[in-house]
Every structure is written in C-alpha cells, then in structure tokens.
Structure 1
Amino acid sequence: MAGYTYMLASTIGLPIYGKLGDLFGRKVIFVFAIAVFLLGSVLCGLAQDMTQLIIYRALQGVGGGGLMIGAQAIIAELVSPRERGKYMGMIGAAFGLASISGPLLGGFITDAWDWRWVFYINVPLGAVALVVIISTLQVHKPESSRPRLDYAGTGLLAAVSAAIILITSWGGNTYAWNSPVILGLAALSLVALAGFIAVERRAAEPVMPLTLFRDRNFTLPTLIGITVGIAMFATISYLPTFLQMVNGASATASGLMMLPMTAGMLTATIGTGQLISHTGRYKIYILLGPVIITAGLVMLSRISAESAYAYTSAGMFVVGLGVGCLMQNLLVIVQNSVARKDMGTATSATNYFRQIGASFGIAMFGSVFIGRLDDQMGSLPPGGPMPAREAGISSLTPDLLASLPPQVQQAIVGAFAEALPPVFLLGVPVVLVGLILAFFIQEVPLSDEPGHAQAPAQVPVPETVAGAGRPGGAR
C-alpha cells in the first residue's frame, strides 16, 4: 500500500511540476521538490506504524514527482536541442539504472542494515544536490510576475490520474475487473476527463494546454512513450517473478540477474544521445527502437525452466537496447518542437503519459499472467496451494514453494514456466503501434539555441496515412 501511495502522489505531481516550473521558474520548483522528497524520506525512516509510513510515502511521492521533470526541463534551458541528446542520454541511463538497480539496492540495505536506511540514504545525496543547485544553478526566469494557476484543471487531472492508478493497481487483484469499485473508478475517470478537457479549453494558464496536441512532434512521441512504458515496466515487473519462481533465484539475485536490461539501456541511451548530438538525426532511432523491443519480447516469450541464463540475459539486453533508443530521444523531439514557455509542461506531459502507460502495462500483463497461472494451477496434485486467482499471486513466494512437497514444487515451477513467458508477446502489438506512429514524426532540424524550439510552433498531426509522405523520415 505504501508503494501505491508513492506512485499515486508522484504521478499526479508530474504535470503539475512542469507547469509550475514554467510559471515560477525551474530552479525554485526543483529545489522545492528535492526538499519535500528529503523531508518525506526522513519521515518514512522515522515511521512507527504502517499508517504513518503510507502517509509519509505519499509526501515523499509529492516531492519525487518533480525530480526527473526538474532535471530534464533545466537541461532544456541550459543546453541546445542539438547538444541535448547526449545529456538526456545520460539522464535516461541514470533513470534506467535506478529503475532496475533501485529494488536491488533496497534489498541489500534491508538485509545488511535496516529497512529505515532505504529512506535515510536519500538524505546525504539529496543534501549535496540541494547545496550545488542553490549555489551554482542559473536558469531563465519567467517574465510573468503574477502567474495564474489552473486550480480546476489541476484538481480534475489529479482525479483522472488517481482513478487510473487505482484501477490498474486494484483491478484483478484487490477487486475483480467488473466489481462496483473498479467500474465506479472508471466512470469517475471518464467524468473527470470530460471536465478536464472542458476546463482546459477556457483556462488562462492550463496545466496541460490542449494546443500542444495539435503538434505532431508532441503528440506522436507522447503516444510512443506510452508504448515504451508498457513494454519496459511490464518486463521489469514480471521477469523477476520468473527468475525467482522458476530459476530459484533469491530476491537479491533476481535483481542482479536483471542487470543485462540495464546494460542495454545504458548502451543505447548514451550511444544514441551522442550520435544525435553529432549528426542531428534522430528519427532512425525512433524507428529502430520498437523493432528491437519486439525482438527482445519475442526472445523472452520463448524462455523456459530449461533455458540457459545466457539466453534470458540476451533477451533482456535486447529489450533494454530498444527502450534506450526511445526513452530520452522522444523527449528531445518534444522539447525541440515547443516554445520555451511550454517546455516544462511538455516535458512533464511526456513523462506523465509514459507513467500512465506503465500502469496499464503492468495491469495488462498481470491480469493475463494470473489467468494463465490459474489455469495451469488447476492441474496441481492434492496438497498444493489455492489457485492463483483466489490466493493471490503474492501468496506464491519462493519461501512457500520451498516448504511444499517435492512433487508440488515441481508442478508449481512448471505452472509458472508455462504461464509467464507467452505473456511477453502481449507487448508486441503495442510496441508495433509505436513503430507505425514513428513513421509520422517529422524530423525537424535540431535548434542550436538553448531553451528554444527552432521547429515551427505547431506541426499538424496527420489526419490520413497519405500525409506521412510529406514530412517523411530523416533528411
């Protein structure tokens, strides 16, 4: 539950931080986000019960939502789009490394010291960052002295985000997909979304300007980012389950075994970032990314209990390469196509929709996986645990598996080995949709001016496939 509150708070905060940075200045908002994150970290470490931990994790998430956005928007202020690729590549590499190695480091700290140090370790690192930013960072300040906040739009977007996160977190787990709770949340999200669109059309300073979606080089990378979120986070979430339940790896060992995916992401984000800065060409990598991810997902769909780890790691590496070709490079395209006054908003929107895609991907993969596992578990011999749908997948742990009779252990391992790998194929059509969308991206020359889009303010989204030939690919 504490993890849900962090994800909920940070997701809601993503678009809000972007707009606040545009209105009040990136430095002050970034400092605020770090300070709130550190305060939440300290309070989490001091928590005396689960209720306190849930509340403090939400506070930590309020700050956490502005960290990545702040860094990306500040780089956009300081570095031209032409040079931005290599810097964004480094940030993307750090993000990918943290996504996979974070749980591993957390497990190590918990085993070696105490769970509270998982939160305390943020404090010295964040304090150093605060000192450096406050003392050295100089960025552009907004011209408006009295910005007007979009309270109604912010509240409605928060309602939409909260409903989506709860649907994807609870659906198929805590509540059935057709339960009144899930259906009610779905209805709430639709009503709030309709209200949000109506409010944004009239707002003086909309938290997410709808005019941005008229620009194909904003809309298409954002949609492709959703497909990246689905493929990346679903793989990160469910592959460790296979490694633990089928290969017998511990939680810490399964984290280490995920490092090939990190290596692939590091290689591609840094490498393509450097190449984009050198050549000014980026569309080729947006086209290659979905193809590479598809190849990796197909490889992972073929793993079994007898598969060598070298094959599994190769599949992870390939998925990481594909994600690395896309993740930060999509943001470079977006930032090159919007005006300085919308830089933070566009940056945060891109990250926001990728996070929403991640939530849907985890829910989609998990629902199909549990259904397949339930079917496989139906043939277990007497003495095994309840079917997965009734007991919950969290009840099937390596420790529980070790306590069962050998014949039951073998049956459960076989059930997991049969149920999970084919689920990775669910990501293939999603990623291929991203590939189709990538053909319509216009390769606008990258500007040499920091914080400024050389591209036209709005490049219309194509209404027909025939329009794809006009903007074309790399020139």
Structure 2
Amino acid sequence: MERSAALMEEAGAQRKKGPAERDAPVHYSRRQVIQVLIGLMLAMLTSMLTTSIVGTALPTIIGELGGQDKLSWVASATLLTMTASTPLWGKLSDIYGRKLLFQIALVIFITSSVAAGFSQDIYWLIGARFFQGIGAGGLAALPQIILGDVVEPRERGRYSGFLGAVFGVSTVAGPLLGGFLVDSALGWRWCFFITVPVAVVAFVVIQWLLHVPTRDRTGTRIDWWGATCIVGAASAVMLVLSLGGKEFEWNSLPTYLFAGAALLLAVLAVVAERRAHDPIIPPRLFRNSTFNLAGLASMLVGASMFGVMIYFPQYLQIVQGMSPTASGLMTLPMVLGLLIASISSGFLVSRTGKWKIYPIIGMLLVTAGFSVLSLLDPDSSLVLVGAGVGLIGLGLGMSMQILILATQNALTRGDMAAATSSVSFFRNLGGAIGVAAFGAIMTNTLTGELTEVAPKAIAAGSSPEELGTAAAGSPDAIHALPGPIQELVLTAFSDAMHQVFLVGIPIALLAFVVVLFFKQIPLRSGR
C-alpha cells in the first residue's frame, strides 16, 4: 500500500509540471512492474481466450441457437473487428492516455462477453462477438505499449517474455478449455462467462497500480478520415479471408468487390495519412527498416501460428481418431515449448542486450517443426506428433515478443504506441491470411484426393452421400464408415494435411530470411 501511495504521489506531482516534464516516465520498482505485469497478463489472457475458446463450442452453439448458414460469421466476427481496430487503440492511447483506453477496452470486452453468454439467437451472438473483438483489439495491443512506458528496453525482455507466453498459451489452450466447458454441466455459455471475472480482476489491478503520467497533447487532432480508411480496408480484407470459400466462392463477385474496396481504401488511407496532422499510422514509421522487417516477419509468424492451431487438431481428430479433449491435450508440447522459450529468451535478452539471434533460431525451429509435421501419416507415433508441434512452440516463443521489442527499441518513445499496435495488426492479419491460405490448400487437395478414391469407395459399397459427408470433415461421420472405405478417406485427409504442413515450411523459411536482415541495434537503457 505504501509503494502504491508513493507512486500515486509521484504521478500527482507529474501533473503539476510543465508539458516536457509531464512526458517523463514514472519510475517503477521491480515489484511494482511485476504487479502491473500481472494485470496486463490477465487482460491478454481474456482477449486471446475469446478468439480461440469458441471454436470447439461452435457445433453445440449452432445446435441450440440455430443458424447453420451463419456459423462462419460467429467464428469470424471477433477476429475481424479485433484485427481492424488494433491500429486505432495505440493512437487513441497517445491522445487520451494508456490507462483510460485500457480500461475502456476492458469494459467493452466485459459487457460484450456477458451479452454473448446470454445470447437468445444467432444474430444476438454475432453482434456481441463483433463488440468483443473491438475490446479484444485493445487488450491485445495496449499491454505491450504500457509495458514500454514502465520498463526500459534493456529490461523489457524479461517481462515481455511473460506477455508472449500468455498470448501463445491462451491461443493454443483455448480450444481445450472450450471443449471441457461444453462437455461439462456448465455448458457453452460459460465459454463467454469464464473470462469476465478475470477481466474484472485485471481492471482492478490496473486501476490500483498503473499510474502512467498524463502527456501534453495540446493541439492533437484525431485522424478520423485515416482511421475510417484503415479500418475499412482491414475489414474488407478480413471479410474476404474469413468468408471466402464459405459464404461465397473465391472466384465470385463478392470476392472481387471486397478486394476492390480493400485496395481503394488502402490507397485512400495512404493519402489520408500523408496529409494528416496526427496520423493513426505515421508514414515516417515505414522509413524505419526495423519496423518494416518486424511487420513482415510478424505477418509470417502469425500465418504459421494460426495455421497450425487450426489444422493440427483436424489431423488429430480425423486422421488419428482422437476426441476433442485428447487432441487439445496433444497441443501441450506446443504450449510448453512456447512458454519456456518466450520466458527464457526474454531473460537472456535482458541479460545480454542481444536479441537478433533469437528470432533467427526461432524461425529455424518453426521450419523444422513443419518439416516434421509434413511427415505425418495415419500411423505416425504420438512422439513424432508431439516433437513437431513442440519445435513450432519453441520457435514461436523465441520470435513473437522479440519482434515487438526490436520495434520499440528502434523508434522514439513518441512513436512507440503506433508502431507496437501496427506490428500486432500485421501479426493478426498474417494469421487470417494463413488460415485462409491453408484452408484453400486443404480443401482443393482433399477434393482432388476424394475424387480419385471415389470410384474405389463406391465399388466397395459406399454411397456418394457418405463420401459427401466425409468431405465435410465430420470426424464421427468418417469413423462410422466401413473399414476399407474409411481407410481410403483417412488417406485422402492425411495427404491433404501433408500439403498444408508442407506449405508451412516456405513460410517459416521466408520469415527466417526476413529476420536475417535485422540490424542488431543495442537495447537502450533509458525509455
């Protein structure tokens, strides 16, 4: 309590100083940083769980609320608004303050989570998920920015590793928790309710402990035109990636309309940002090579991470015949690898001041992990399966947070918020691109494989209807097929998964090449 009171006193004194002095950071002890870090970790935990926990529960939710044709909207609404809103949170926190914006994001998230849990029909749920994504966008971007305010870059590695671990663990563990809740007496509504108390605790912790000084922003104006174009362009891209191949064909009028709108709005966003007094994403950021490389590498990392998260459970449930809970447990090697690598690399970066080597090794490990997964077949041992995802977890843990740390270190404190939220935006966008690309490869390969085996399956007594059900990817329907036919279908799915994991190899290798071009800028000892 004494430390907190002293911190509040210092923050109050800051408000009495002049504009230049008010921009000086409050100095936190290590204990106070850890306390703030706990609040930030809880907030990130809730936001990431929201985007991943609902996947396992979707069949049950649709079964109760109806609206099978709207399933893709339930899955995509949060990811769409989270990605599109991420760049705005950083800039708005520059204007109105980190603490206020962080708490607003928490309130939006808590309110929409409760609303989602009480959904009475599918449209209610989609609307709640839409607003959940807006709150989750703030909770994904602002913790990194706040950490940059309270800890100098040289020491930031030891703390950012914990944020990276929370991001990865919650994203991977969400489906496992969702499956448990659906199978328990609590039911699917608790997939939304369970994050509320955690978010409330995060709100209280941040209210009590975080005292970032108010910065002088006299004359600052919100770039509404730029914000509209950026959000519009990102939304159009996300709609194509999320709904293409589901709600409409890739080669169709809606695809071309959304793609055209995204391109037009992106061009208008560039014009708006070059003319704006206080742009959302300052064009000068793109003159910094570290920012450009970190953004590109983050897109590739996001594509790798989200791609394996979505399609690895399908391999386990369909090809290996595991239950949803068992397949969730098989992600533990990835979770543990990410946790260990993220924390340990963060501590080593703080101790040595050198960071470039970690994303280089990390991308090599991700490449090795995808190479192992590409060898899997219906008879592969669980040791080989665990080794593949474990390597990917280690690689992602050594890369994700280091990319953000490198970006923050290479830019001025005034650009830190915009740069951090932009890199987070690129990672989420890369994830959406990865899921869409892997999905297209999976669908096309599977269609071709099933077309080839169809004559054999029909000759063995299978009906076209049974093959159609199998193509939809229902594990229960596939494993209910007669033995010889089931073997043909499982081989088709295994070959399709093989292609998906093969595509992960060049993506990880490209990320490796990108991080090689980073300059090893020494970590600053001041903020």
| TM-score, normalization by structure 2 | 0.83
Q: What whole-Å deviation, never above 9, does each CA across 1:405-461 have from its counterpart, x for those lacking one?
A: 333222211111122123212122222222222222111111112xx3xxxxxxxxx
Q: Tell me which residue corresponds to 1:261.
A: 334
Q: Tell me which residue corresponds to 1:38.
A: 110
TM-superposed CA distance for 1:400, in Å, is 1.4
3-state SS in 2 of match to 1:65: helix
Q: What whole-Å deviation, never above 9, does each CA across 1:378-418 have from its counterpart, x for those lacking one?
A: 11312355698x8796x321121233333322221111112
Answer whether contact 1:44 1:56 (CA < 8 A) is retained. Answer: yes
Q: Tell me which residue corresponds to 1:402.
A: 479
Q: What whole-Å deviation, never above 9, does each CA across 1:57-113 have from its counterpart, x for those lacking one?
A: 111111111002111111100011011111111000011100110111111112111
- Mapping of residues 78-227 of structure 1, within 5 Å: 78-112=150-184, 113-227=186-300
Q: What whole-Å deviation, never above 9, does each CA across 1:100-154 have from its counterpart, x for those lacking one?
A: 1011111111211111111111121111111111122111322114531111111
Answer whether contact 2:445 2:499 (CA < 8 A) is retained. Answer: no
Q: Tell me which residue corresponds to 2:74.
A: 2
Q: Verify: 1:424 aligned to 2:496, yes or no.
A: no
Q: Tell me which residue corresponds to 2:119.
A: 47
3-state SS in 1 of match to 2:160: helix
TM-superposed CA distance for 1:172, in Å, is 2.6
| Unaligned ranges ≥5, structure 1 | 453-475
For 2:477, the aligned partner's letter is: L
Aligned with 1:284 (options 330, 338, 357): 357
Superposed CA RMSD in Å reads: 1.5
Q: Tell me which residue corresponds to 2:10.
A: none
Answer whether contact 1:248 1:398 (CA < 8 A) is retained. Answer: yes
Answer whether contact 2:359 2:395 (CA < 8 A) is retained. Answer: no
- Mapping of residues 54-73 of structure 1, within 5 Å: 54-73=126-145
Q: Tell me which residue corresponds to 1:19.
A: 91
Q: Tell me which residue corresponds to 1:76.
A: 148
Q: Tell me which residue corresponds to 1:466.
A: none
Q: What whole-Å deviation, never above 9, does each CA across 1:300-330 have from its counterpart, x for those lacking one?
A: 1001111100001001001111111110000
Answer whether contact 1:6 1:58 (CA < 8 A) is retained. Answer: yes
Q: Tell me which residue corresponds to 2:14.
A: none
In 2, the alpha carbon distance for the partners of 1:4 and 1:392 equals 24
In 1, the alpha carbon distance for the partners of 2:487 and 2:504 equals 28
Answer 1 or 2: which has greater helix percent: 2
| Unaligned ranges ≥5, structure 2 | 1-72
In 2, the alpha carbon distance for the partners of 1:418 and 1:57 equals 35
Q: Verify: 1:298 aligned to 2:375, yes or no.
A: no
TM-superposed CA distance for 1:287, in Å, is 1.5
Q: What whole-Å deviation, never above 9, does each CA across 1:359-387 have from its counterpart, x for those lacking one?
A: 11111111111111111111131235569
- Mapping of residues 272-351 of structure 1, within 5 Å: 272-351=345-424
In 2, the alpha carbon distance for the partners of 1:141 and 1:385 equals 67
Q: Post-superposition, which runs of at least 4 consecutive aligned residues in structure 1 deviate over 3 A? A: 384-388, 390-393
3-state SS in 2 of match to 1:304: coil
In 2, the alpha carbon distance for the partners of 1:405 and 1:387 equals 10
In 1, the alpha carbon distance for the partners of 2:118 and 2:470 equals 31
Answer whether contact 1:293 1:320 (CA < 8 A) is retained. Answer: yes
- Structure 1 residues 360 and 391, CA, compared in 2 at 3 Å: closer, same or farther? farther
In 2, the alpha carbon distance for the partners of 1:410 and 1:400 equals 13
3-state SS in 1 of match to 2:399: helix
For 1:284, the aligned partner's letter is: I
Q: What whole-Å deviation, never above 9, does each CA across 1:255-276 have from its counterpart, x for those lacking one?
A: 1111111111111111110100
Q: Tell me which residue corresponds to 1:461.
A: none
Answer whether contact 1:38 1:126 (CA < 8 A) is retained. Answer: yes
Answer whether contact 1:173 1:392 (CA < 8 A) is retained. Answer: no
